[in-house]
Chains A and B, each alone.
Chain A
Amino acid sequence: MKPRPFDYVRPDSVDEAVAVLAEHGEEARVLAGGQSLVAMLNLRLADPAVLVDITRIAALDEIYDLGDRIEVGAAVTQNRLLAWPRLADKLPLLAAALPFVGHFQTRNKGTVCGSVAHADPSSEIALSLAVLAGEVVLRSQRGTRVLAAAAFQKDMLTTAREPDELITAVRFPVMSGRGVAFREVARRHGDFAIIAVAALVEDKAAVRLGVGGMSGRPVVRHIATADGSAARDTIDGMALELQGYEDLHASAAMRRDLLRRLGPVVIDEAIRCAA
Chain B
Amino acid sequence: MPPLVGTSTLRKEDPALLSGQGRYADDLPTAAGTLHAHVIRSPHPHADIVRIDPAEALAKDGVWAVITGEDVRKISDPFLVALKTPVHQWSLAVGRVRYVGEPVALVVAENRYLAEDAGELVQIEYRPLDAVIDPQAACAASAPVLHPEAKTNEISVRKFSYGDTKSAFERADARVALSSSFPRLSFTPMECYVVVAQYNPAERGYDVLANFQGPFSTHPVMARALRVPGPKLRLRIPPDSGGSFGIKLSVFPYIVLTAIAARITGRPVKWVEDRVEHLCAASSGPNRITEIEAAVTRDGRILGLRLDQLEDYGAFLRAPMPGPLYRMHGAVTGAYDIANVDVINRVVLTNKMPASLIRGFGGPQLYMALERLVQRIAIELGLDPLDVIRRNLVPAHKMPYRAAAGSLYDSGDYPRAVATATGGGRLDDLKRRRDAARAAGRKYGIGFAAIVEPAMSNMGYLSTLLTADARDKAGPKNGAVSMVTVNIDPLGAVSVTADCTVQGQGHETVLAQIVADQLGLKPDDINVVLEMDTAKDQWSIAAGTYSCRFTPGTAVAAHIAAGRMADKLKEIGAKQLNVLPADVELAQGKIRSRSNPDNAAPFGRVAGTSHWSPVMLPEGMAPALSETALWMPPELEPPSSDDRINTSLTYGFVFDMCGIEIDPLTYQVRVDRYVSMHDAGRILNPMIADGQMRGAFAQGIAAALYEEFTYNDEGAFLTGTFADYLVPTVSEIPAVEMLHQETPSPLTPLGAKGLAEGNCMSVPVCIANAIADALGVKDVPVPASPRRIHALLEGGGG
- Seen from chain A, the residues whose Cβ lies within 8 Å of a Cβ on chain B are 1-2, 4-5, 43-44, 185, 187-192, 194, 248-251, 253-254, 257-258, 261-262, 265
Question: For chain B residues 694-724, which have a beta carbon within 8 Å of chain A?
Answer: 706, 710, 718-719, 721, 723-724
Which residues of A have CB within 8 Å of B791?
251, 254
Contact with A along B773-798 (1 / 0, CB 8 A): 00000000000011100110010111
Contact with A along B712-747 (1 / 0, CB 8 A): 000000110101101011011000000000000000
Residue in A187, A189, A253, A262 whose beta carbon sits within 8 Å of that of B785 in the complex: A187
Q: A261–B706 contact, CB under 8 A?
A: no
Q: Which residue of A lies closest to B719 (CB)?
A: A248
Measured CA separation A64–B718 after assembly (Å): 43
Residue in B117, B666, B732 whose beta carbon sits within 8 Å of that of A185 in the complex: B666
CB distance from B273 to the nearest CB of A (A): 11
- Asked whether any CB of chain A lies closer than 8 Å to the CB of B12, the reply is no
Which residues of A have CB within 8 Å of B125?
none
Contact A188-B706, Cβ < 8 Å, known A251-B787, A258-B666 = yes
Measured CA separation A253–B667 after assembly (Å): 13
Measured CA separation A248–B117 after assembly (Å): 30
- Asked whether any CB of chain A lies closer than 8 Å to the CB of B190, the reply is no
Measured CA separation A258–B664 after assembly (Å): 10
Measured CA separation A1–B41 after assembly (Å): 13
CB distance from A7 to the nearest CB of B (A): 15
Which residues of B have CB within 8 Å of A187?
706, 726, 785-786
Measured CA separation A2–B113 after assembly (Å): 6
- Seen from chain B, the residues whose Cβ lies within 8 Å of a Cβ on chain A are 112-113, 116-117, 274, 276, 664-668, 706, 710, 718-719, 721, 723-724, 726, 728-729, 731-732, 785-787, 790-791, 794, 796-798
Q: B724–A248 contact, CB under 8 A?
A: yes
CB distance from B35 to the nearest CB of A (A): 15
Which residues of A have CB within 8 Å of B668?
185
CB distance from B744 to the nearest CB of A (A): 40
Q: B667–A254 contact, CB under 8 A?
A: yes
Q: B112–A2 contact, CB under 8 A?
A: yes
Q: Which residue of B lies closest to A261 (CB)?
A: B665
Residue in B274, B731, B796 whose beta carbon sits within 8 Å of that of A1 in the complex: B274
Measured CA separation A249–B117 after assembly (Å): 32
Beyond A261-B664, A262-B665, 4 additional pairs, beta carbon < 8 A = A185-B668, A250-B786, A254-B787, A258-B666
Which residues of A have CB within 8 Å of B113?
2
Measured CA separation A190–B116 after assembly (Å): 31
CB distance from A115 to the nearest CB of B (A): 16
CB distance from A20 to the nearest CB of B (A): 24
Which residues of A have CB within 8 Å of B731?
188-190
Q: A2–B666 contact, CB under 8 A?
A: no
> Would you mind naming 24 contact pairs between A and B with Cβ atoms under 8 Å apart?
A1-B116, A2-B112, A4-B117, A187-B726, A187-B785, A187-B786, A188-B706, A188-B726, A188-B728, A189-B729, A189-B732, A190-B729, A191-B726, A248-B719, A249-B786, A250-B786, A251-B796, A254-B790, A258-B665, A258-B666, A258-B667, A261-B664, A261-B666, A262-B666
Q: Which residue of B lies closest to A194 (CB)?
A: B786
Which residues of A have CB within 8 Å of B732?
188-189
Per DSSP, chain B at the interface is loop
Q: A1–B276 contact, CB under 8 A?
A: yes
The 10 A-B residue pairs with the shortest CB-CB distance, nearest first, are A189-B731, A254-B790, A2-B113, A185-B666, A261-B665, A2-B116, A1-B274, A187-B726, A250-B787, A188-B732
Residue in A43, A188, A251, A257 whose beta carbon sits within 8 Å of that of B729 in the complex: A188
Which of B113, B666, B728, B796 counts the most A-chain CB atoms under 10 A from its CB? B666
Q: B729–A192 contact, CB under 8 A?
A: no
Measured CA separation A249–B786 after assembly (Å): 8
Per DSSP, chain A at the interface is loop
Which residues of B have CB within 8 Å of A4?
117
Q: Which residue of B lies closest to A3 (CB)?
A: B113
Residue in B664, B666, B787, B797 whose beta carbon sits within 8 Å of that of A249 in the complex: B787
Contact A43-B721, Cβ < 8 Å, known A1-B276, A253-B794, A254-B790 = yes
Measured CA separation A191–B728 after assembly (Å): 11
Measured CA separation A5–B116 after assembly (Å): 11
Measured CA separation A185–B665 after assembly (Å): 9
Measured CA separation A190–B666 after assembly (Å): 16
Which residues of B have CB within 8 Å of A190?
729, 731
Which residues of B have CB within 8 Å of A5?
117
Q: Which residue of B lies closest to A187 (CB)?
A: B726
Measured CA separation A191–B726 after assembly (Å): 10
Measured CA separation A171–B569 after assembly (Å): 80
Q: A251–B276 contact, CB under 8 A?
A: no
Residue in A44, A191, A250, A258 whose beta carbon sits within 8 Å of that of B723 in the complex: A191
CB distance from B184 to the nearest CB of A (A): 15
Measured CA separation A2–B117 after assembly (Å): 9
Measured CA separation A194–B794 after assembly (Å): 18
Which residues of B have CB within 8 Å of A189?
729, 731-732
Measured CA separation A181–B666 after assembly (Å): 17
Contact A251-B790, Cβ < 8 Å, known A187-B706, A188-B728 = yes
CB distance from A253 to the nearest CB of B (A): 6
Q: B665–A248 contact, CB under 8 A?
A: no
Which residues of A have CB within 8 Å of B112?
2
Which residues of B have CB within 8 Å of A194?
786
CB distance from A241 to the nearest CB of B (A): 19
Measured CA separation A200–B731 after assembly (Å): 28
Q: Which residue of A lies closest to B708 (CB)?
A: A248
Which residues of A have CB within 8 Å of B117?
4-5
Which residues of B have CB within 8 Å of A253?
790, 794, 796
Measured CA separation A261–B666 after assembly (Å): 8
Measured CA separation A4–B121 after assembly (Å): 13
